[in-house]
Amino acid sequence: MPYSFPEFEEMGITIHPEQLDWADYQKRIDRGLVGWGEALGAGLLAGCIDRGIALFPNTRGRALLKNGRVEGIRADGPDGPVEFRAKAVVLTTGGFEWNAKEMAQHFPCPIEPATVPTNVGDGLDMAREAGAALGNMNVLWGWPSLILDGETQEDGNPLVRTSLFERLLPHMICVNGKGERFADETISYHRLLKEMIRKDDKGGFPNLPAFHVFDRQYRDKYPFGPVMPGGEDPAWLKAYPSLAALAEAINVPADALERTVKSYNASVAKGRDDEFHRGGGGYAYFFGDRDNKPTPNMGTIEKAPFYAVPMLPGTIGTCGGPRFNTSGQVLSESGAPIPGLYAAGNVTAAFSGPSYFGPGGTLGPALIFGAIAGAAAAKS
């Protein structure tokens, strides 16, 4: 993404990617420009290189070296086991969302990870073995996701896309397996994920499976994932002549889905959603279609054909792990700091608890406590 976020927003290409100046895009790519998270990562890497900090890629931390205090780490390197001796260790290994055993224990419903597959909980294991107190283990950062047929990453894992703005646009709602809406579709992705994986009194998940449901009006005006407005539907995007036919295809009650859409269309006519209060907030306005009147987030679902795409629970990282203090020191079960052991980022028990500050909610604490822990470790 060779643009800054303000440039991206000013161009309006979230909703209208067809308006992107592809010649300018290519010029920026050729110049090596990057924006967003890539720019952040590039700046941090450059900071390490400029300071002569040694980097050891393809080297997996396995165990802490201890002698009354943490004094190094044992790792698996490209050429075999290797030990790094130091006066302190800072764990910044990310979450454990790719660890199937840990995920099954703490999150009993399937959740698709949209992170690097090396986030398997190595730091969690090392902290646990060192006697660290753990917290926030049943909480994760997440969002509604899409996995489209045939899309894979270079490592062979499925490409997990976020349903970031599609669900906030007119002519679309989200329904559960009963064919009913279950939330305001325009709330933040973290809050909507919570609704998706909410348990009922019997331990079940009433809002799974979940689906994006939209009509031809949406397809004519807005992108969906990698599909541009208008044009032919790709093979994975099935079109149905009626809501009843769509309901049969996704195995939800047709009468319930038709009733849900009828009720929603009536809300559109009134200009307000009395059931879930869709739209109205700053988040909804930002990602909505501001040219759509009278509201950026509401439009009828009535023009055939109709579409449904599964909406899957996805995670951008777990946020449970060792507890830590304001110096980034990892705490033991007794509450005392473990000498020589520090941590920052998603490997830790997030101080936000079950909450989320908003986009960048993982990056801000990682940057701040990375700096704090690094400085404290250097003085230890």
Phi, psi of 340 (to 5 degrees): 85, 5
Which architecture, in CATH terms, is 150-315?
Alpha-Beta Complex (3.90)
Delimit the domains of the chain by residue range: 5-50, 60-139+319-379, 150-315
- Cβ 189 vs Cβ 360: under 8 Å: no
10 Cβ contact partners less than 8 Å away, ≥ 6 residues apart:
none
- Cβ 115 vs Cβ 316: under 8 Å: yes
> For residue 231, what pLDDT is reported?
84
CA separation for the pair 279, 295 (Å, rounded) = 8
The superfamily in CATH containing domain 60-139+319-379 is FAD/NAD(P)-binding domain (3.50.50.60)
Query: pLDDT digits over 327-352, tens only?
Result: 999 999 999 999 999 999 999 999 99
> For residue 280, what pLDDT is reported?
83
Phi, psi of 312 (to 5 degrees): -105, 145
> For residue 37, what pLDDT is reported?
87
Structure tokens given for 361: 């909610």
- Classified as helix, coil or strand, 177 is coil
Please tell me which residue, 16 or 243, carries the higher pLDDT value: 243
Query: pLDDT digits over 256-286, tens only?
Result: 999 999 999 999 999 999 999 999 888 899 8
Q: How confident is the model at residue 357 (pLDDT cuts 50, 70, 90)?
A: confident
Please tell me which residue, 17 or 173, carries the higher pLDDT value: 173
> For residue 191, what pLDDT is reported?
93
Type and span of the H or E element at 45: helix 36-50
The three-point CA angle 32-37-41 to 5° equals 75
Q: Above 90 in pLDDT, residue 154?
A: no
